[in-house]
Structure 1
Amino acid sequence: MRIGLYPGTFDPVTLGHTDIIRRACSLVDRLVIGVAINRDKGPLFSLEERVGLLEQEISAIAAACGTEIVVHPFENLLIDCARDVGASVIVRGLRAVADFEYEFQMVGMNRTLDDSVETVFLMAEARHQAIASKLVKEIARLGGDVSKFVPPAVHAALAERLGRK
């Protein structure tokens, strides 16, 4: 069984994330969505909320693609998380050249730590390339409409969190 790990903070999950999840399903038999506990980033949503929002989104994707998808919170090194879940592949989404530079360094470090785990990059669909969780949160905080960037459940959670209707 080929197991893939798609890590991120998913604060919040965006249509870019769900696009990568959907497309990663064709590469693996089981996809683990690793939700990073990163206290330094000061997430808008708690770990439990991020996990819950992801679980809502993945059920339909898993049913449509026939791939088992699970959500797994982690706070250790990415390569250790990959070992913990039995992943042989780390899936990373790319939007722009700036993403590649950072990811290139990460691949080098992860390969040094464990060269049995491969990293696969998937480019976000063109319509999702500008979407970043950080920008979604900023737009939402300032009263902008983020419905084009996030799934409906996430849109509702953002509105509730920020006290908007």
Structure 2
Amino acid sequence: MKSAVYPGSFDPITLGHLNIIKRAARIFDKVYVCVMKNSEKNPLFTREERVELIKRTVKNFPNVEVETAEGLLVSYCRERDASVIVKGLRAVSDFDWEFQMALANRKIDPAIDTLFLTASEKYTFLSSTVVKEMAKYGADLRDFVPREIIEDIVNKTRSKG
């Protein structure tokens, strides 16, 4: 069985993230969506809340599991017997950073490869940061995030604002 890990902060998950998950789920027998901490970001949702939001969004994908992890991504991959890290790319600027991370991960564990999936053209502009900014000003989020979680984003944005 070929397993992959799709890591990220997912604060919140967007339709762009969901597009990458759907495509990875067609390629691999098992996909672990791993909510990780990004020390450079100040999240809107806790990691546990993000896991719950993603679980609601991917509930119809039988080969997708959602978890959270601390520590090195390659250690998590080893624990799950996953030999591939899936990363979504929106622009060349994403590639610069992700390529460096892929090389570092390969240095730590040469048995783990990174697969880059380019974003669907309709999501190349989309990021969790954009979604949070739009939510703060009351924009319609239906074209940007899964419908199942719109109310959660609106409520969390209001409570933090």
TM-score when normalising by structure 2:
0.94
Q: Distance in 2 between matches of 1:100 and 1:162?
A: 30
Which residue pairs with 2:100 in the alignment? 105
Which residue pairs with 1:15 in the alignment? 15
Q: Does the alignment pair 1:120 with 2:126?
A: no
Which residue pairs with 2:50 in the alignment? 50
Decide which moves more: 153-162 or 27-36: 153-162
Deviation per residue, 1:52-104 (Å, 9 max, x gap): 110011112x15xxxx1111101111111111211101000000000000011
The amino acid across from 1:152 in the alignment is R
The amino acid across from 1:75 in the alignment is E
Which residue pairs with 1:80 in the alignment? 75
1:38, 1:75 within 8 Å by CA — same for their partners in 2? no
2:136, 2:158 within 8 Å by CA — same for their partners in 1? no
Task: State the aligned residue count.
Answer: 159
Which residue pairs with 2:35 in the alignment? 35
Displaced runs of 4 or more, over 6 A = none
Shift of 1:151: 0.7
1:89, 1:118 within 8 Å by CA — same for their partners in 2? yes
RMSD: 1.4
The amino acid across from 1:38 in the alignment is N
DSSP-derived class of the 1:31 partner: strand
Structure 1 pair 58–119 and aligned structure 2 pair: CA distance change class (3 A): same
List gaps (5 residues or longer) in structure 1.
Answer: none
